[in-house]
Amino acid sequence: MLGLPRGGVPVAAEVARALAAPLDVLVVRKLGAPGREELAIGAIARGGARVLNAGLIGELELTGAELAAIEARERAELDRRERSYRRGRPLRDLSGRTAVLVDDGLATGSTMLAAVAAVREEMPAAVLAAVPVADPQICAMLSDTADEVVCLLTPHPLGAVGLYYEDFSQIADEEVLALLGFSR
């Protein structure tokens, strides 16, 4: 069970507990549009995995330099979180195993696509993407990449992921660490 931080880790922790499966974290970072950081123009993950929404990048008329600056900023945060959440511990060996990637929801699917790309490098037997809520079109798009996709709620249009939670407050690094079995 691999939770995508930060919001996916509490969801993954519950799933891991229910299935008596080991919990780990796979750090990914959304590449947000300038001035509209919640709008994903792509995402990055470990090992150089990178997914870009070329259509949106073109529509926003982003230059290569602007894209590089966004990616550099997010790569620095990805590296910080990787160090913080891993505490020197390597990613579990996924070769020949089923990797279940869990997030709190999918708005654009960019971070999950980057996560799938990163996990594929670890040679798992299968990659499953699981989320509580996502637009059905995003689930369908993701099924081209993941071996299996589980989306419990598929409202169209989705709106915002947070609309489907009673409490969608920001998850702190300390909570992620506690769920992963570390104390600060």
Could you tell me the CATH number of the domain that includes residue 93?
3.40.50.2020
Q: Would you give the DSSP letter of residue 172?
A: P
Residue 145, helix vs strand vs coil: coil
First to last CA, the chain: 22
Whether 184 maps to a domain, the answer reads: no
Over residues 88-98, the pLDDT tens digits come to 999 999 999 99
Contact at 8 Å (CB) between 135 and 159?
A: no
Task: Examine residue 174 and state whether it is found in any structural domain, yes or no.
Answer: yes
Number of domains observed in the structure of the chain: 1
pLDDT of residue 19: 95
> Is 77 a domain residue?
yes
- The yes-or-no verdict on residue 183 having pLDDT over 90 is no
Q: Is residue 53 part of a domain?
A: yes
* Confidence band of 149 (pLDDT split at 50, 70, 90): very high
Asked, for residue 101, whether it belongs to a domain, the answer is: yes
Grouping H, G, I as helix, E, B as strand and the rest as coil, residue 90 is coil
Instruction: Please tell me whether the overall predicted TM-score, pTM, comes out greater than 0.75 for this model.
Output: yes
pLDDT of residue 117: 97
Give 24-44 as a DSSP string: EE--EEEEEETTEEEEEEEEE
- Quote the domain boundaries for residue 130: 2-179
Q: What is the pLDDT of residue 184?
A: 52
What is the spatial distance between Cα 139 and Cα 144, in angstroms, rounded to a whole number? 9
